[in-house]
Every structure is written in structure tokens, then in C-alpha cells.
Amino acid sequence: MEIKREELIKKLEDTKANGYTYLKKITAVDYINYLNIIYILYNIDTKNEIIFEVKLPSNDLKIDTVINVYKSADFYERELSEMFGIEIIGRKIKRLLLEEWDGAEAPLRKNFIWGNKDYKKL
């Protein structure tokens, strides 16, 4: 289900109140002109999933943190920030995955160009 970024926190709070207490995953898919941020929620009692997608234009990669709704969002938001270059509004992200990275900011984006001269395409 696609939702607007302004609706994200309210939708997640409502969904959690309806029994979807487990955050399975947050990830992103790069479509070059936009990114879809995907939230997968799980209801342990009914064994159902709900998937929310938030579409972000490539020139405005900002989204609110959901850590106040789901504490387990911490590492997922770090991954979004480091690997996709998405700004997580409402928290400061300390690098974890790319702590010593000296290359481009978003290695999982389709527009990422390998800068390592030793890199060889297979």
C-alpha cells in the first residue's frame, strides 16, 4: 500500500495499535528518478503482514524517523542513511556500516559509480 511521507508516522502508529507490533524490515528500492522506502510490519497473532511504501523523489530524499514507533527501526534507518543517502529527519545517524568509507555517499544507489581503480567489472 503506497502512502504519503506525511502520513507515515500516523499509519504506523495505527497499524501497531491494530496488532502489527513487529517491524520485519525497512528497505529501499532505487528507481533512479525516485526511491520507494518499504516498511514490512507483522502481526504475530494473525501471522499477517502489511507492507507500506513511501515514494521519495530522488532530489528530496528525506523521511521522518520511525524509531519512536518501532525501536527496532534503528539499524534499518542507519542502512537507509548510509547505503541509499536518505536523510532520516528527527535523529542523527552515526555511521556504522561505512565507518571508514571514503567513496561516494550512497553505494546502493543505481547512479553510484565505483571510484576504485582496482575494481574490475565481471
Look at residue 89 in the predicted model and tell me its pLDDT: 93
Provide the domain count of the chain: 1
CATH code at position 40: 3.30.460.80
The range of the structural domain enclosing residue 78 comes to 2-89
**Residue 25: how many other CB atoms lie within 10 Å:** 14
For 26, the grid coordinates are 525497512
**pLDDT tens per residue across all 122 residues of the chain:** 999 999 999 999 999 999 999 999 999 999 989 999 999 999 999 999 999 999 999 999 999 999 999 999 999 998 898 888 898 999 876 666 666 655 556 766 776 666 655 544 43
- Chain centroid to Cα 23, Å, comes to 12
Q: Are strands 48-57 and 2-3 parallel, antiparallel or unpaired?
A: parallel
* Nearest Cα to Cα of residue 85 among 50, 68, 60, 102: 60
* Nearest Cα to Cα of residue 78 among 93, 57, 59: 93
